Structure 1
Amino acid sequence: MYHIFLAVVSIVICYKLGDWRNWRKYYSTILFLILSNVVCILLTYNHILWLHETKILNHTFGDLFICITVYPSIVMLFIPNFPKKITKIITHISFYVAIFTMAEFIGLKFGYFTHHNGWSIWLSIIFNYTLFSIVYLHYKKPLYAWIIALLSPHILFFLMRIPYNSIK
């Protein structure tokens, strides 16, 4: 139920405040974010770091549901309002990191989200700062974002001591 709540809230807020007229401008970045998450799901399938707990859907479908509902909404809210000044950029990214962290914290408290294999809310905060920075980078300079995205799993595997033989 929590996942449906997150999806509905994201879609409603995006419907009211998002840049729907220009959705095509953000389409490739939306796909980039979805694909990045799907790759993360696949690479950590046997060594899960976090899990969307749901009684309705299994782990994979729960993640995919979030991917196709929440992520497009977030991109259409995040990118069009991106500021130019560095202090405002930090505030803008921090706002979205706070929203993601708060949603995760609530999910953790009510059992709709769990951490595994050394993952923590603090790592999620770092991950979310990285995520939103790369999302905007993809919008502006997609090639650079793809290079970072190709290196990121190796960094994650190194930092979290995930063995490569755990990849499905």
Structure 2
Amino acid sequence: MIIIYYIFLSLVSIYICYKLGDWENWIKYYPTILFFILSSVVCIVLTYDHPLWLYKPQILNHTFTDLLISITVYPCTIMMFIPHLPKKLPKIILHISIYVAVYTIPELIAVKLGYFTYHNGWNIWYTIIFNYIMFPIIILHYKKPLYAWLIALVSPHILFFLLKIPYNVIR
């Protein structure tokens, strides 16, 4: 049942993206899609032996579930998030908040169902804060990729410091 939940989330993302995504201009979003996926993979690798969260394994293990979401949900997110980005700051904040909710609610459901667990100091509040940081970085990458890459290079160090994750846990 657990894997069905994540496959369902992936298929819903693909369907909504098929209906609402900007497919005519997908090539414009491709670098940001890759940035998002690569950021996720780096997080998977860096925290492999000291995970912050885990998908409860069933058919697919945690890593494969993480990758399933990375290659389905994340590209769909970019294809809908960037093209519908408003111009004025109050509306941008609302747009980001909607996406933070869209990312947080399924996680909360998965936690309640026992399909997702937090570890090593991570919790739902860190997820919300992380999402409020992640979506502006996605916007920044789309507009000024070099700045987003600089932030991406520094972010793991800040996260490791805040959560007291020792560097020797990195493979």
Normalised by the length of structure 1, the TM-score is: 0.98
Shift of 1:54: 3.4
The one-letter amino acid of 1:5's match is F
2:12 maps to which of 9, 12, 18: 9
Provide the residue aligned with 1:71 in structure 2: 74
What is the CA RMSD across the aligned residues, in angstroms? 0.7
Q: Distance in 1 between matches of 2:168 and 2:121?
A: 18
Query: Is structure 2 residue 143 aligned with structure 1 residue 143?
Result: no
Q: How far does residue 35 in structure 1 lie from its aligned partner after superposition?
A: 0.2
Give yes or no for contact 1:14–1:77 (8 Å, CA) kept in 2: yes
| Match of residue 83 from structure 1 | 86
Superposed CA offset, 1:2-50 (max 9, x none)? 1101000000000001101111000000000000000000000111001
Residue by residue over 1:114-153, the C-alpha shift from the partner in whole angstroms, topping out at 9 and shown as x without a partner, is 1111111000000001111111110000000000000000
Q: How does 1:39-58 map to 2 (within 5 A)?
A: 39-58=42-61
The AA in structure 1 aligned to 2:160 is: F
Task: Write the letter of the residue equivalent to 1:116.
Answer: H
How many residue pairs match? The answer is 168
- Asked whether the equivalents of residues 101 and 125 of structure 1 are also in contact (C-alpha less than 8 Å), the reply is yes
Once residues 131 and 103 of structure 1 are traced to their aligned partners in structure 2, the CA distance between those partners, rounded to angstroms, is 17
Distance in 1, Cα, partners of 2:126 & 2:51: 14
Give the letter for the 1:4 counterpart.
Answer: I
Post-superposition Cα deviations, 1:68-97, rounded to whole Å, max 9, x if no partner, equal 010000000000000111100100000000
Task: Compute the displacement of 1:51 (Å).
Answer: 1.4
- Aligned positions of 1:115-130 closer than 5 A: 115-130=118-133
Name the residue aligned to 1:25.
28
One-letter amino acid of the counterpart of residue 19, structure 2: K
Structure 1, gaps ≥5 residues long = none
- Residue 165 of structure 1 corresponds to 168
Which amino acid is 1:124 matched to? T
Give, in whole Å, the separation in 2 of the partners of 1:136 and 1:44. Answer: 25
In 2, distance between residues paired with 1:99 and 1:16?
A: 17
